[in-house]
């Protein structure tokens, strides 16, 4: 059993060579990896900037639309809805079906 332990354990000379070589290999591996990671971070930052601009645009449009809806009365909303459904009956039916489905799921039980 003592022989297995001595053969399994590397010598101290091998220990000093392995980390030095492995360390140098890791340094060269890290440089391209670091560059790739930095590039990925830059791309993520650009995507985040675009998403923030898109969010702000959608938020502004939604708040303007909500403000316009608040200024109108119910009769104007019904008339506008009927006008849109007359122009586009297919999507109107689909939207009505989806609204009915979700209301049914909401008030189920």
Answering whether pTM is above 0.85, one says: no
Question: Which has the higher per-residue pLDDT, 69 or 99?
Answer: 99
Exposed/middle/buried for 95, CB within 10 Å: 0-12, 13-18, 19+? middle
Structure tokens at 76: 């104007």
| pLDDT, tens digit (0-9, with 9 covering 90-100), for 77-89 | 888 889 999 999 9
Percentage helix, strand, coil, to 5, in the chain?
90, 0, 10
Determine the straight-line distance between the first and last CA of the chain, rounded to whole angstroms.
72
Whole-angstrom CA distances from 84 to 40, 74, 79 are 45, 15, 9
Q: Please, which residues have CB within 8 angstroms of residue 72's CB and are 6 or more apart in sequence?
A: 80
Average pLDDT of every residue of the chain: 80
| pLDDT, tens digit (0-9, with 9 covering 90-100), for 14-42 | 444 444 444 444 445 568 889 999 999 99
In degrees and rounded to multiples of 5, residue 73 shows phi and psi of -95, 175
Residue with tokens 């938020």: 59
Q: What is the Cα–Cα distance from 77 to 65, expressed in whole angstroms?
A: 12
pLDDT at 75: 86
Question: Which band of pLDDT confidence, cut at 50, 70 and 90, is reported for residue 54?
Answer: very high
What share of the chain in percent tops pLDDT 70? 72
Q: What is the mean pLDDT of residues 49-66?
A: 94
């Amino acid at each position: 059993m003592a022989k297995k332990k001595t053969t399994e354990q590397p010598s101290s000379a091998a220990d000093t060579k392995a980390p030095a070589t492995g360390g140098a290999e890791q340094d060269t591996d890290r440089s391209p990896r670091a560059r790739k990671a930095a590039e990925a971070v830059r791309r993520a930052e650009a995507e985040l900037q675009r998403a923030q601009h898109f969010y702000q645009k959608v938020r502004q449009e939604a708040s303007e639309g909500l403000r316009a809806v608040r200024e109108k009365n119910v009769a104007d909303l019904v008339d506008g809805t009927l006008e849109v459904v007359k122009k586009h009956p297919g999507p109107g039916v689909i939207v009505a079906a989806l609204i009915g489905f979700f209301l049914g799921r909401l008030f189920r039980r």
